[in-house]
Amino acid sequence: MSEETFSPPYSSLADFEQDVRLHGYAALATPDFERLTGVRSQEFKALEPSWENLPADEWLRDGGKYRFRRHASLVVENGEIALQPHRAHFQPVDYNALHGGLHRMFEPIDADTLAQTAWQRMLLSLARVCDDVRGTSTKWFVEAHQFRIDTGDGLGRPTPEGAHRDGVDFVAVILVDRVNITGGETRVFDYNGPNGQRFVLRAPWSLLFMEDARVIHESTPIRREVEERAGHRDTLVLTFRAKGFIGEG
């Protein structure tokens, strides 16, 4: 029996920012994400090999071995990107009950990845969306996370902390790839109300963009679709915060 899934509630590019203002989140299909960023599909494709070289996440408190990641901290202001000295990722317990309170140091994102035109255009375009939704030009403190969740343990958990917020202003979740998996359903709910959506991002380089204070989100565990083959889910998560990096301002 095939898995029941729900298609993402994609916005048109013309309605995207207004939908974020109305609902606290919006999703873009791959063609509109390409138009938003000015990045062609082959340029996105050139970023994908960097997900093959992610070190294991040694900080998982559930004892799992299913998550691999790299991390970088950047500042975006006036159309310029400034890479910051490598630093630990920190979240308060209020936002991450499982891993909050830890200064988790991950391996940095490769310099070659950060230098690619596709990366820079994507980061600048999403910062402009943050400015537009906020209604003012802002200095954004950005944390970038490359994730691979695999099924080597039989089950991979994209959000082992459960439904959560991140303690930032905006969160962009970009699906990079899904290989031989079921699950990985995205769930987004109003923080102060009953409304919510559940759907599966399947298309590489499709986007979920959220106003963090207004919604909580999670992704369900993944399993192998064909047991004899390995499976994984690759994502890029970018968080934007106006008041400095969490733990530093």
Give average pLDDT by consecutive 10-residue segment, the chain, 249 residues. 74 98 97 98 97 94 88 97 95 63 89 97 98 97 97 89 89 98 96 90 98 96 95 98 86
Q: What does the alpha-carbon distance between residue 223 and residue 212 come to, in Å, rounded to a whole number? A: 28
Q: What is the pLDDT of residue 63?
A: 78
Q: What is the rounded distance in angstroms from the CA atom of residue 234 to the CA atom of residue 232?
A: 7
Structure confidence at residue 231 (pLDDT): 97
Q: Are 90 and 246 contacting, i.e. CB atoms less than 8 angstroms apart? A: yes
Which pair of structure tokens corresponds to residue 170?
């905006």
Per-residue pLDDT at 99 = 65
In this prediction the pTM is 0.94
At 1 the pLDDT is 39
CA-CA distances (angstroms) from residue 238 to 127, 143, 157, 211? 10, 6, 19, 12
pLDDT given for residue 61 in this prediction: 73
What pLDDT, on the 0 to 100 scale, is given for residue 160?
85
pLDDT score of 100 = 54
Give the model's pLDDT for residue 81: 98
Q: Among residues 221, 243, 218, 248, which one has the least CA distance to residue 97?
A: 218
